[in-house]
């Protein structure tokens, strides 16, 4: 009886050693892999510079036109919905104000204070109505200053 127990121990010991060795090997391998490759990938994914990138006068992340008031518009107008809603809707000053009032009344848009003028100026300047024939002639030519 006693002899058999001892024999078992002798047989199992090396197997445990091998298992522990393999296990430790994987742990070390995993740790090295994470150290070498893990953090590098994170840095590539979280890149703040790209989100502020402006190409050909367009703010790349939102697609909005780069102009005075852009940052205010991004901060206040792209939290709830995509900037596409703005880009697709071309309106005059009064309509932009009305849209803002509607969102404040029924969609939970916060009071914009002094920023409202900055935002509406940006919108009427960069996203005016596209209709050509039916609108009264422009009086404020500054809106269409195309010279560079």
Where do the DSSP E strands lie in 3-99? 54-55, 58-59, 64-65
Where on the phi/psi map is residue 7: left (φ > 0), alpha (ψ -120 to 50), or beta? alpha
Query: Which residue, 60 or 90, has its beta carbon nearer to ligand HEC?
Result: 90
Q: Which residues bind ligand HEC (CB under 6 A)?
A: 76-77, 79-81, 85-86, 89, 99-100, 103, 107-109, 119, 123
Residues sharing a CB contact under 8 Å with residue 133, sequence separation 6 or more, in sequence order? none
CB of 36 to ligand HEC, least distance (A): 43
If the CB atoms of residues 35 and 85 are measured against ligand HEC, the closer one turns out to be 85
Nearer to ligand HEC, 88 or 145 (CB): 88
116: nearest Cα among 75, 81, 62, 83:
75
Check residue 144 and report its DSSP letter.
Answer: G
- Shortest Å, Cβ 38 to ligand HEC: 36
Q: Tell the smallest beta-carbon distance from residue 93 to ligand HEC (Å).
A: 12
| Residue 86 CB neighbour total at 10 angstroms | 23
End-to-end CA distance of the chain: give it in Å, rounded. Answer: 100
* Residue closer to ligand HEC (CB basis): 24 or 82: 82
Residue 90: CB minimum distance to ligand HEC, A = 9
């Amino acid at each position: 009886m006693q002899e058999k127990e001892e024999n078992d121990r002798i047989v199992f010991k090396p197997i445990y050693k091998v298992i522990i060795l393999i296990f430790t090997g994987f742990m070390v391998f995993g740790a090295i892999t994470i150290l070498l490759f893990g953090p590098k990938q994170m840095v590539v994914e979280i890149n703040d510079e790209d989100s502020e990138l402006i190409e050909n006068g367009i703010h790349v992340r939102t697609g909005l036109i780069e102009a005075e008031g852009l940052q205010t518009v991004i901060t206040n107008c792209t939290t709830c919905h995509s900037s596409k809603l703005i880009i697709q809707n071309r309106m005059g000053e009064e309509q932009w104000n009305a849209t803002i009032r509607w969102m404040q009344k029924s969609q939970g848009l916060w009071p914009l204070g002094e920023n409202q003028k900055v935002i509406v100026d940006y919108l009427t300047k960069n996203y005016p109505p596209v209709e050509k024939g039916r609108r009264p002639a422009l009086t404020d030519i500054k809106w269409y200053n195309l010279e560079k």
